[in-house]
Amino acid sequence: MRIAVLSPIAWRTPPRHYGPWEQMASNLTEGLVNAGIDVTLFATGDSLTSGKLSAVIERGYEEDRELDAKVAECLHISQLMEQSGQFDLIHNHFDFLPLTYSGLINTPMITTIHGFSSEKIVPVYQKYNDKGYYVSISDADRHPELHYIATVYNGLQTTQFSFSPQHYDYLLFFGRIHPHKGAAEAIEIAKQVGKKLLVAGIIQDEAYFREKVEPHFSESVVFLGPAGPEERDRLLGGAAALLHPISFDEPFGLSVAESMLCGTPVIAFNRGSMPELIRDGKSGYLVNNVNEASEAVSSLTNISRTACREWALANFSQEKMVQDYIQLYEKILN
């Protein structure tokens, strides 16, 4: 079986800090190689893989601002499509644009839909409903107009996340600094319960950061910026809880699964995929607003950190994701 994995090129695969789609393309590629499958990863030239690497763009366009993103994407996608006959299957992690080639090639394409940036992109998916194979990353993120072959949860390299049976007395916000992710709400929750809050992540919305987040920085609200794998593991494992007060229907939420892998419960607003990721009262709490989140903080002693870890291992591991996809590949090819 010869598989081509098409990764985005905003960031390196795997990313240095942020880049969830690139991270999943990497986790899948490495898992498939470990399973003995012939895999070529189409990604940036500085990407790291134990499989074969094919690249026409040396660095991600978010890391090299001299690049024109659309030009880079066109060169990158066409690089794979012009070689498509060399593969038994293409696994697309690059959103809707590669679908526009699928009617011109004979190689079947499976597309993991990592979310919808806008309803405006749905017509492209609709056009290829009966040509391709769509996978959702949660049942909550399925679009009613599309046909899906399966739901496969994102899988993490569990060895990168250390179990921490003990924790420090701080709360953690770990994610993009953007209104959708709720950094401002996390600050409000921490202030209500009188606990220290650490804030880690890239600044994606400068105005929101300046107006809603930065003014609250103090000894009790500390901004750390982006965190790489080692610091991420330390921050997640040391937290009393991860605060995830999202204001959108999140397709998955990697930091939620990562936190539970470290044994740290998650207090999340009950939207999108959160009921699929979190067992309410067992691996965290699903709440509806800041006040309910503050009340949940006082109940954290009822959560077993061991149970958090076991739940995440059973459902969100790289090994499970890879085996689920191999079964889909075999189904498609047969």
What is the tens place of the pLDDT at every residue in 54-67? 999 999 999 999 99
Classified as helix, coil or strand, 263 is: coil
3, 24, 26, 36, 323 from 51: Cα distances, Å: 10, 15, 10, 10, 17
Decide whether 2-155+317-333 matches 158-315 in CATH topology.
Answer: yes
pLDDT at 236: 98
CATH of domain 158-315: 3.40.50.2000
Between vectors from CA 325 to CA 323 and to CA 330, what angle results, nearest 5°? 95
Average pLDDT value for residue range 278-306: 97
What phi and psi, each to the nearest 5 degrees, are found at residue 151? -110, 130
Average pLDDT value for residue range 251-262: 96
At 165-179, the pLDDT tens digits run 999 999 999 999 999
Kindly tell me if the per-residue pLDDT of 124 is higher than 90: yes
CATH of domain 2-155+317-333: 3.40.50.2000
At 103-114, the pLDDT tens digits run 999 999 999 999
- Which residue in 328, 327, 255 sits closest to 17, CA to CA? 255
In the chain, % of residues over pLDDT 90: 98
Between vectors from CA 162 to CA 322 and to CA 221, what angle results, nearest 5°? 115
Please give the mean pLDDT across all residues of the chain. Answer: 96
* Residues sharing a CB contact under 8 Å with residue 50, sequence separation 6 or more, in sequence order: 29, 30, 33, 34
Cβ contact 72:43 at 8 Å: no
Estimate the share of the chain in helix, then strand, then coil, as percent rounded to the nearest 5.
40, 20, 40
Kindly tell me if the per-residue pLDDT of 90 is higher than 90: yes
pLDDT at 139: 97
In the chain, % of residues over pLDDT 70: 100
Task: Work out the pLDDT band at 156, boundaries 50, 70, 90.
Answer: very high
pLDDT at 228: 87
Average pLDDT value for residue range 91-96: 97
Domain boundaries, the chain: 2-155+317-333, 158-315
At 9-45, the pLDDT tens digits run 999 999 988 889 999 999 999 999 999 999 999 999 9
